[in-house]
């Protein structure tokens, strides 16, 4: 059951789109229902200015209470024991004590004797204290009374989550080629830089489907421009890459450069499409190109305008984009840089040397520039009314993605675009995927990547993944191998790094064969992974999920923080520690271990339920297949464009077991019966799922 309580006069975020199963309840009924789960609700905390909150929900935990969800956030799969704040942030330091990342995903499920789900539909700051201040107390704090709160009851984690996923609408589905492997780097400056990457991948025989173009392709980092010196004939270049089976995926940032000579800026200004400041002028802040203006994506006409701007690119044959800096990121504003300069001047004009304290204060001013202090100083127009940014802050990235998606849908004549962004709110999952932002080449961030996937899936962001290898910091070959061996299972599979760290394209390292084979395995798995993805999207289920979802009564499974279930049949247990030859794996049931030594050579062994130490070499990929399941593997390819047979016959529902190599794990309880089938889903040109029955006798 799904109950919705409306308090005050909330903004319609359009996070929820399917309302037919929702029962509207009053505040009193809500208090009652929450109380039946053991929770309390307080509405008597009006004084926000003193750090108190308008609404508070609390829940007393017992020893075993666990929390799942909250999408993109730090720490474990079970969110218990820390505090998480929904306040979208451009956060280049993803360390354990951060409360906020780029997304606001206010859905969680409380796992207890009586389980329930909670969704706080409010686009400003929301705090989830899950045992941070008081070890056994959950407190959700909302700074306003204008909010929708959803309470979902159900028989287990999976069913509660499925109901939630239904009300928020079907997740974005990428095109099949979006499951290919992509190479990216902040620093590919010219067409030749990109040609070199493609040539090296092709001559190393490492599969590749796309190269991402970071802001260097632009003229002075300005949106919707192309640097014509570095990319003299963009359209031909797009075509040349396509002939090699590679698609180019440009970045687009949220803010538009203040350049009076540019038509886009002028048009946005004349039409009043930008967010305004306190004196009703255009609000400007510094981002990559310098001073920029922020399109008011919350307005439909601004979204239509912005979406249409992509046409210059789609006309050149571009079919995918990534959206960035849409928290929105603000590097500096006039007020904070002026105050900082004044403080510098004041210090410089002193007769004595600055004290360490004064220097620290100055450094703190600069380091403190991340936009949050500005969010109360600019404005949107929502339903004709002026509204302060901080009240709708978490909707900004969502609506940029929506603008982009709607534009691309118009321009690509029915083909699915590849699209993902950085900042999001629940609702954005219908339009695009997300990547997890500026992580680092740290082993702990590989583990973080593993742990983030279940929460993201619960909140609808099925198409997600991290910067494989890490964005900041220096990668090492072993880290990149281990990370790649995990990322071949995440829908978004992209190697990306920043401009001042070691280059991390796979061909730069010693064991090219290992990279080639691991990525080739991804390509062998694409039909299966895409099929599992389509099923998860259409059935409102999780493509990747915590073991707790399928083995709720098994304490060891519930506690497992470093293994994931994928679709119907697979369990992943990635290696995420340096200098280890394997890892401990917990099997909640008997499973078939498949160890791929290369993409085509593998060995299998049956393991009983329980704890095991499994050896996993640096060049190997180990997965586990559940009983009574089969795993179909396609033939290896270097790009999805070569998967013609699969695409052509798959769409017609004519794929057969002969098209695949099949690994089966028969259940001995089935006796002599050795018949297993897998319902492989493909998509036809009308975007409808088509089923191919793959039978192993
Ligand atoms: C941001 C993005 C990163 C990108 C960089 C330059 O830091 O998160 O992925 O490379 O901006 O555009």
The pLDDT tens digits of the residues spanning 523-539 come to 999 999 999 999 999 99
Burial of residue 9 (CB within 10 Å: 0-12, 13-18, 19+) is exposed
User: Does the CB atom of residue 437 touch ligand 1 within 6 A?
Assistant: yes
Instruction: Say how far apart CA 247 and CA 241 lie, in whole Å.
Output: 6
Tokens in use for 219?
């003229």
| 139 and 132 Cβ atoms separated by less than 8 Å | no
Residue 125 predicted with pLDDT over 90: yes
Of all atoms in ligand 1, which is nearest to the CA of residue 329?
1
What pLDDT score does 368 carry? 63
Nearest CA, atom 10, ligand 1: 186
Is residue 91 in contact with ligand 1, taking CB distance under 6 Å? no
Domain pair 2-168 / 531-696, same fold: yes
Grade residue 49 by pLDDT with cuts at 50, 70 and 90. Answer: low
Instruction: Indicate the fold that domain 531-696 takes in CATH.
Output: Immunoglobulin-like (2.60.40)
Element (H, E) at 338: helix 334-348
DSSP β-ladder status, 210-213 and 182-183:
parallel
Q: State pTM to two decimals.
A: 0.96
Mean pLDDT over each residue of the chain, to the nearest integer: 95
Protein residue whose Cα sits closest to atom 5 of ligand 1:
186
| Ligand 1 nearest-atom number relative to CA 322 | 9
Pocket lining: 494 vs ligand 1, CB cutoff 6 Å = no
Instruction: Kindly state the tokens that stand for 318.
Output: 């571009």
Question: Between β-strands 494-495 and 621-626, what pairing exists: parallel, antiparallel or unpaired?
Answer: unpaired
Give the end-to-end CA distance of the chain in Å, rounded to a whole number.
41
- Cα-based distances in Å from 349 to 39, 338, 346, 366, 376: 59, 16, 5, 19, 33
CB atoms within 10 A of CB 219: 18
CB 422 less than 6 A from any atom of ligand 1 = yes
User: Above pLDDT 70, what percent of the chain?
Assistant: 97
C-alpha of residue 157 to centroid of ligand 1, in Å: 35
389 lines ligand 1 (CB under 6 A): no
pLDDT digits (tens, 9 = 90+) for 205-250: 999 999 999 999 999 999 999 999 999 999 999 999 999 999 999 9
Burial of 609 (0-12, 13-18, 19+ CB in 10 A): middle
Per-residue pLDDT, averaged over 247-264, amounts to: 98
- How would you classify the pairing of strands 2-7 and 610-615? unpaired
The mean-pLDDT minimum among 334-348, 526-540, 559-573 falls in 334-348
The pLDDT assigned to 367 comes to 64
Cβ proximity of 550 and 159 under 8 Å: no
Q: What's the chain's length in residues?
A: 697
pLDDT for residue 260 is more than 60: yes
Tell the residue nearest (CA) to atom 3 of ligand 1: 438
Ligand 1 contacts CB of residue 90 (under 6 A): no
Q: Which residues, including other chains, have CB under 8 Å from residue 48's CB and lie 6 or more apart?
A: 54, 143, 144
Structure tokens of 692? 């191919």
User: With contact defined as beta carbons under 8 Å apart, do 449 and 495 qualify?
Assistant: no
- Give domain limits for the chain: 2-168, 332-366, 531-696
- List the residue whose alpha carbon is closest to atom 4 of ligand 1: 186
Q: Is the pLDDT of residue 649 over 60?
A: yes
Q: Is 284 near ligand 1, meaning CB less than 6 Å away? A: no
Give the number of the atom of ligand 1 that is nearest the alpha carbon of residue 437: 8
Give the pLDDT confidence score for residue 47 in this predicted structure: 52
How remote is the CA of residue 293 from the centroid of ligand 1, in Å? 19
**8 Å CB contact between 599 and 514:** no
621, pLDDT greater than 60: yes
Closest CA to 531 of 666, 436, 414, 655: 655
* Residue 373, pLDDT score: 81
CA–CA gap between residue 513 and residue 693 (Å, rounded): 34
pLDDT tier, 689 (very low <50, low <70, confident <90, very high otherwise) = very high
Q: Which atom of ligand 1 is nearest to the CA of 214?
A: 12
C-beta 324 within 6 A of ligand 1: yes
- 262 C-alpha to center of ligand 1: Å? 24
The separation between CA 42 and the C-alpha centre of its own chain, rounded to angstroms, equals 33
Ligand 1 mean position, distance from CA 425 (Å): 19
Answer positive or negative: Cα dihedral of 257, 260, 262, 265. positive
Look up the CATH architecture of domain 2-168.
Answer: Sandwich (2.60)
- Using one digit for the tens of pLDDT, what is the confidence trace for 7-33? 999 999 999 999 999 999 999 999 999
Rounded distance from Cα 609 to ligand 1 centre (Å): 43
> Is the pLDDT confidence value at 670 over 80?
no
Q: Ligand 1 pocket, 117 CB below 6 A?
A: no
CA angle, corner 221, sides to 217 and 227, nearest 5?
Answer: 40
């Amino acid at each position: 059951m799904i109950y919705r309580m409306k308090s005050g006069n909330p903004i319609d975020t359009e996070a929820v789109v399917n309302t037919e199963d929702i029962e509207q309840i009053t505040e009193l009924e809500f208090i009652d229902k929450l109380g039946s789960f053991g929770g309390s609700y307080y509405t008597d905390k009006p004084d926000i200015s003193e750090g108190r909150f308008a609404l508070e929900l609390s829940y007393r935990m017992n020893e075993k209470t666990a929390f799942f969800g909250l999408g993109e956030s730090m720490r474990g799969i079970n969110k218990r024991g820390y505090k998480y704040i929904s306040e979208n942030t451009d956060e280049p330091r993803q360390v354990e004590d951060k409360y906020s990342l780029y997304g606001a995903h206010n859905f969680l499920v409380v796992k207890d004797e009586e389980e329930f789900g909670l969704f706080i539909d409010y686009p400003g700051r929301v705090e989830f204290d899950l045992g941070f201040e008081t070890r056994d107390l959950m407190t959700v704090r909302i700074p306003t009374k204008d909010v929708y709160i959803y309470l979902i009851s159900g028989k287990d984690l999976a069913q509660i989550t499925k109901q939630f996923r239904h009300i928020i609408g079907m997740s974005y589905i990428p095109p099949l080629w979006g499951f290919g492997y992509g190479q990216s780097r902040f620093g590919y400056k010219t067409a030749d830089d990109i040609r070199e990457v493609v040539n090296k991948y092709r001559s190393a025989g490492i599969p590749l489907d796309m190269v991402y173009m970071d802001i260097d392709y632009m003229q002075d980092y300005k949106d919707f421009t192309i640097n014509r010196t570095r990319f003299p004939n963009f359209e031909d270049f797009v075509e040349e890459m396509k002939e090699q089976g590679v698609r180019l995926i440009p970045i687009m940032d949220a803010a538009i450069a203040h350049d009076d000579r540019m038509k886009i800026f002028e048009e946005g200004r004349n039409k009043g499409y930008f967010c305004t400041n306190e004196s009703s002028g255009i609000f400007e802040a510094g981002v990559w190109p310098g001073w920029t203006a922020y399109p008011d994506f919350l307005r439909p006409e601004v979204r239509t305008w912005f979406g249409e701007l992509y046409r210059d690119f789609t006309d050149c044959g571009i079919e995918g984009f990534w959206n960035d800096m849409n928290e929105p990121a603000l590097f500096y504003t006039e007020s904070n840089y002026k105050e900082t300069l004044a403080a510098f001047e004041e210090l410089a004009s002193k007769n004595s040397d600055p004290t360490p304290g004064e220097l620290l204060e100055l450094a703190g001013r600069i380091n403190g520039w991340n936009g949050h202090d500005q969010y109360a100083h600019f404005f949107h127009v929502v339903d004709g009314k002026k509204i302060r940014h901080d009240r709708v802050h978490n909707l900004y990235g969502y609506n940029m993605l929506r603008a982009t998606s709607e534009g691309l849908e118009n321009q690509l004549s029915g083909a699915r675009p590849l699209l993902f962004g950085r900042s999001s709110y629940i609702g954005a999952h219908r339009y695009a995927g997300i990547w997890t932002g500026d992580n680092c080449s740290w082993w702990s961030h590989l583990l973080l990547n593993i742990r983030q996937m279940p929460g993201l899936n619960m909140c609808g962001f099925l198409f997600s993944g991290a910067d494989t290898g890490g964005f900041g910091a220096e990668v090492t070959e072993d880290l990149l191998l281990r990370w790649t061996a995990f990322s071949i299972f995440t829908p978004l599979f992209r190697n990306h790094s920043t401009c001042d760290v070691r280059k991390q394209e796979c061909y730069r390292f010693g064991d090219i064969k290992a990279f080639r084979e691991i990525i080739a395995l991804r390509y062998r798995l694409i039909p299966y992974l895409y099929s599992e993805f389509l099923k998860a999207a259409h059935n409102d289920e999780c493509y990747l999920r915590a073991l707790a979802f399928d083995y709720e009564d098994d304490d060891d499974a519930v506690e497992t923080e470093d293994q994931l279930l994928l679709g119907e049949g697979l369990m992943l247990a990635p290696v995420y520690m340096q200098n280890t030859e394997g890892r401990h794996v917990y099997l909640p049931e008997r499973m078939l271990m498949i160890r791929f030594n290369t993409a085509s050579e593998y060995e299998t062994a049956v393991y009983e339920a329980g704890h095991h130490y499994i050896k996993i070499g640096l060049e190997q990929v180990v997965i586990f297949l559940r009983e009574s399941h089969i795993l179909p593997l396609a033939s290896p390819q270097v790009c999805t464009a070569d998967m013609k047979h699969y695409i052509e016959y798959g769409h017609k529902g004519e794929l057969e077991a002969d098209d695949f190599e099949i690994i089966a794990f028969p259940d001995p309880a089935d006796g002599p019966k050795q018949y297993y089938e897998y319902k492989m889903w493909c998509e036809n040109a009308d975007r409808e799922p088509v089923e191919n029955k793959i039978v192993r006798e």
